[in-house]
Amino acid sequence: MPLIERSDSLLVVVDAQPGFYARGADRGSDDEAGARSVAAWLAGVATALDVPAVVTEEDPPRNGSTDAAIMHRLAPGTRAHVKPVFGLADVPEILAAVKATGRRTTVIVGCETDVCVTQSAIGLLDRGFRVVVVSDATFSPGAMHELGLARIRDAGGEISHAKAVYYDWIRTLDAAIRFEAENPDLASPPGFSL
């Protein structure tokens, strides 16, 4: 697989809502908290590097709004699109927002890996987009996370992790040093030291 080109990338935040993070036996788990903090960090990196974002929310009255830590890191004016189906590519307004960026590489974070992330990834693949799902910034309870990642990989999507996406976007040591100096709060992803 080729490296992820920053100039062709779009961050897609799928249903990163408390109603999904708080479900199931893993309620309040370290995996869930970790996925949320990594997604927020990557949102900050994307904004700092001028990578646009599209945000979706499924049934906000029931599941809540997108995690505030993630929305806070996105560019001002970024809005969430209501997604009444599981796969975002089946919502004309959301697909139009993705296409309007002019980017063809979708980097996906959010919930739940085995349903909305999977169906969104497959829908985008079917429409000719390159899909990279960030394994440590997506979440489903228990075994469903790994099962979702496997299905995405089987469909032709790529599985990566936040640190790899960061380094693909940055590319050079000079750029990394400059980024860290300009964005000290984003100098390393949660749980890693760069």
Distances in Å between the Cα of 189 and the Cα atoms of 39, 55, 110, 166 are: 9, 21, 16, 9
| Whether this model's pTM surpasses 0.75 | yes
Longest dimension (CA), the chain: 45
Candidates 12, 11, 14; CA nearest to 83 is: 14
- pLDDT (0 to 100) of residue 190: 83
Kindly report, residue by residue over 134-185, the tens digit of the pLDDT. 999 999 998 999 999 999 999 999 999 999 999 999 999 999 999 999 999 9
First to last CA, the chain: 23
What are the structural domains, with CATH classification, of the chain? 6-186 (3.40.50.850)
- pLDDT (0 to 100) of residue 26: 45
pLDDT band at 21 (very low <50, low <70, confident <90, very high): confident
Quote the CA–CA distance of 5 and 62 in Å, as a whole number.
36
Residue 194: pLDDT above 60? no
Kindly report, residue by residue over 44-102, the tens digit of the pLDDT. 999 999 999 999 999 999 999 999 999 999 999 999 999 999 999 999 999 999 999 99
Mean pLDDT of the chain: 93
